[in-house]
Structure 1
Amino acid sequence: MKLEDHRFPCPACGAPMRFRPGTTALRCPHCGHEEPIPDARGGIPELDLRGAAEKAVPAVEMEDLRVVRCESCGAEVEFDADIHAKVCPFCAAPIVTDTGVRRYIKPQAQLPFLLTEDEARQAMNRWLGRLWFAPSNLRAYARAGRAMDGIYVPYWTYDAETRTRYSGQRGKVHYESHPVRVRVNGRTQTQTQQVARVRWYPAQGAVARNFDDVLVLGSNSLPKRYTDAIAPWDLSALSAYEPRFLAGFRAEGYSVPVEQAYGEAKEIMDEVIRQDIRRDIGGDRQRIGAMETSVGALTFKHVLLPVWVAAYRYHGKSYRFVVNGRTGAVEGERPYSSMKVFFFVLAMVLAAVAVAYLQVAS
């Protein structure tokens, strides 16, 4: 994973301009000058996955990046040439630079931030307020307004034309009457019950589906369960890659290669195809014996999705929180206050003793 800074000097005063979340404009925090950003929706280029697997991605779609690995969480972070030490935005651990250059596929699209840092912090505070047993200083940390990092996280999307031939069985449910022995009011009786039985018939056929924007995380810097929890993403709002939307933010580079991520995309598509097959088989029950899928056109995009990240260190361990930069959905991990847990358990024990005492007394 790498992080890349994007700078655009203000034409009025020369200070770095920043993208304003929720708008389509750059704004200078020094003099207030604004410039519109063209929002190019539609016409986003797709790259051929088979060509990528053969290392045939056009040179114009590639870039060289200098990165360093965080030994604490494994993130790979890009630095400016004049920076030699920094705190990792994903785990709050200090890291020291060590030059290394790698080639990456450039992004084709992004979803710009809609939430400001203050709005993201408010969402995180609401989420923290619902947590039991969280240490008081964790909530104090959040209320203190500590800075959050706005990061564009890398994803891959896949489009695929599929046709699947299958064989299986169609089940038709019928009911048969069977006598059974049951206990009624302490006596054994014989009753007739309806028991479901299934007759199976052979089935075969073919289904076709065109998949659009099957989404797979392209990074290992954040736990996948976090990024899954803050989904979904409004991919219909994707616009062609425009660096000005990244001004003042960072863009994380992928650490999961496109070919590797396609394995997960294929699992997602296979499950959808199985559902299509079950519908095609029909009947009351379905069994899939075999399925063989052929894939025609197969393309991908490297896209960047906006996430606000906060890292908190408690007793020497890092805890992270992530906020969807468009919807405000929050996920993360937190420490437990041993004192709060102790007093809660103590209160429960005392309550149980009091109830038992009252029952005995009565």
Structure 2
Amino acid sequence: MPDTAPPPAPAEHRFPCDQCGADLRFAPAQGRLVCDHCGHAEPIDDPGPWAGGLAELDFRAGLETALPDTEMEEVRRLKCPNCGAEFEMAADRHATECPFCATPVVTDTGAQRRIKPQGVLPFALEERDAHTAMTDWLGRLWFAPNGLKDYARKGRRMDGIYVPYWTYDAATHSRYSGARGTVYHETRTVMRDGKPQRVQVQKVRWAPVSGRVARAFDDILVLATTSLPKRYTDALQPWDLSELDPYRPEYLAGFRAEGYTVGLDEGFAEARAIMDRAIRRDVKFDIGGDRQRIDRLQTQVSDVTFKHVLLPVWLAAYKYRGRTYRFVVNGRTGRVQGERPWSAWKIALAVILGLLLAAAVGYLAALGQQEGALAIEWQ
């Protein structure tokens, strides 16, 4: 008979306080679960030694949905109709605002079976620290609207989001053929202004080469969501992946966790592009010489494994004069990136001041020339 048992209920990242029953949250500054209602705090249980780092999962098994049940989970997510972000929400909530674009969200995707995160990098910065970093960053921007700065300084709440990433490991063996260029110079005689002159002309002598290179790639990091622009999230690096902890839901208490929307195969395509760039650098180094030319390159990739990890980002999405501005803060280092707002009147004022300054400099220069001419006349 087919198995008709219903799937398990989605896990809830809620931890009631032993003292008052309110929900505990993970406090980055303390590294513990704390109750904002009564002040009670509880340590996060030590999962015990885990020698060798986080477990890697077989890439092929992941593609074929053949991973062990222990590596899968049922989650309930909301999907933003505007930016497409998917994020977890408590079972007792049915509507919220998208933390990525500030759009009201009421769409429930229901329970989904997804690959469970293997590791998590816990938040190290509290919200107040992230807010200070963001407002300081805004204050250093030239030509940013004052209204947006004031709007941000009002202290609107930032969202702590665990953003999904894939990491990939692989072994590569590459064969190449090409040419090594050696730069040399020849002396030639050319005519300039009707006169012969001897000049040095640069030339390249090419010699055919071939060879092999190998590399073991470790933890190639690929963003597993499309809700945030890559140019911002990539600029939040580096991430201290050596500090990854085994996934524990306690770290998610009081925070949101976004679900991956970039599939495992899509993520590997981006990782492969990163590998290919590194391999080409290796080949050029192996060719040596002054110039290098790669005519043919074949790479065999093996032993591909992956991890699904969550990295901490503080996020602010402000709607100002009908436009949404998004800012992201690395939840470990405080590094800030965001959409660049511009103030038209500040730019116009700067242009006017620049023109006035140029006119003043031109006037003083002309005045100096005039005084010099008068001095010559008196002499």
- Using the alignment, how far apart are the partners of 1:329 and 1:189 within structure 2? 61
- Using the alignment, how far apart are the partners of 1:199 and 1:208 within structure 2? 28
Corresponding residue to 1:103 among 93, 113, 131: 113
- Structure 2 residue identity aligned to 1:24: G
1:228-250 CA-partner distances (Å, limit 9, x unpaired) = 11111111111211111111111
- Structure 1 residue identity aligned to 2:32: A
The 8 Å contact of residues 314 and 335 in structure 1, kept in 2 or not, is answered as no
Q: What's the TM-score, normalizing by structure 2?
A: 0.88
Partner of 2:240: 234
Partner of 2:373: none
User: Which one has a bigger Cα radius of gyration?
Assistant: 2
Partner of 1:200: 206
- Structure 2 residue identity aligned to 1:15: A
Partner of 2:43: 36
Corresponding residue to 1:315 among 315, 321, 324: 321
Partner of 2:268: 262
- After superposing the two structures, state which structure 1 stretch, 88-97 or 296-305, moved more: 88-97
Report the 3-state secondary structure (helix = DSSP H, G, I; strand = E; otherwise coil) of the residue aligned with 2:54. coil
Identify unmatched segments of 5+ residues in structure 2.
Answer: 1-10, 371-379
Q: Percentage identity across aligned positions?
A: 58
- Using the alignment, how far apart are the partners of 1:57 and 1:24 within structure 2? 32
Counterparts in 2 of 1:8-87, with a 5 A limit? 8-37=15-44, 38=46, 42-87=52-97
- Structure 2 residue identity aligned to 1:12: Q
Report the 3-state secondary structure (helix = DSSP H, G, I; strand = E; otherwise coil) of the residue aligned with 2:282. helix
The 8 Å contact of residues 118 and 246 in structure 2, kept in 1 or not, is answered as yes
For the pair 1:303 / 2:309, whether they are aligned, the reply is yes
1:330 Cα deviation from its structure 2 partner: 0.5
Report the 3-state secondary structure (helix = DSSP H, G, I; strand = E; otherwise coil) of the residue aligned with 1:151. strand
Report the 3-state secondary structure (helix = DSSP H, G, I; strand = E; otherwise coil) of the residue aligned with 2:276. helix
Corresponding residue to 1:282 among 277, 288, 293: 288
- Using the alignment, how far apart are the partners of 2:91 and 2:123 within structure 1? 27
Partner of 1:119: 129
1:349 Cα deviation from its structure 2 partner: 3.1
Quick one: structure 1 residues 125 and 174, their matched pair in 2 at CA, closer, same or farther if it must change by over 3 Å? same
- Using the alignment, how far apart are the partners of 1:144 and 1:234 within structure 2? 32
The 8 Å contact of residues 85 and 258 in structure 2, kept in 1 or not, is answered as no
The 8 Å contact of residues 188 and 201 in structure 2, kept in 1 or not, is answered as yes
Counterparts in 2 of 1:115-154, with a 5 A limit? 115-154=125-164
Partner of 1:244: 250
1:292-322 CA-partner distances (Å, limit 9, x unpaired) = 1112211000000110000111111111000
1:188 Cα deviation from its structure 2 partner: 4.8
The 8 Å contact of residues 69 and 76 in structure 1, kept in 2 or not, is answered as yes
- Structure 2 residue identity aligned to 1:168: G
Partner of 2:101: 91
The 8 Å contact of residues 167 and 203 in structure 1, kept in 2 or not, is answered as yes
- After superposing the two structures, state which structure 1 stretch, 227-236 or 196-205, moved more: 196-205
Which structure is richer in relative contact order (CA contacts within 8 A, separation 6 or more)?
Answer: 1
- After superposing the two structures, state which structure 1 stretch, 243-252 or 222-231, moved more: 243-252
Identify unmatched segments of 5+ residues in structure 1.
Answer: none
Quick one: structure 1 residues 21 and 352, their matched pair in 2 at CA, closer, same or farther if it must change by over 3 Å? same
- The total of aligned residue pairs comes to 355
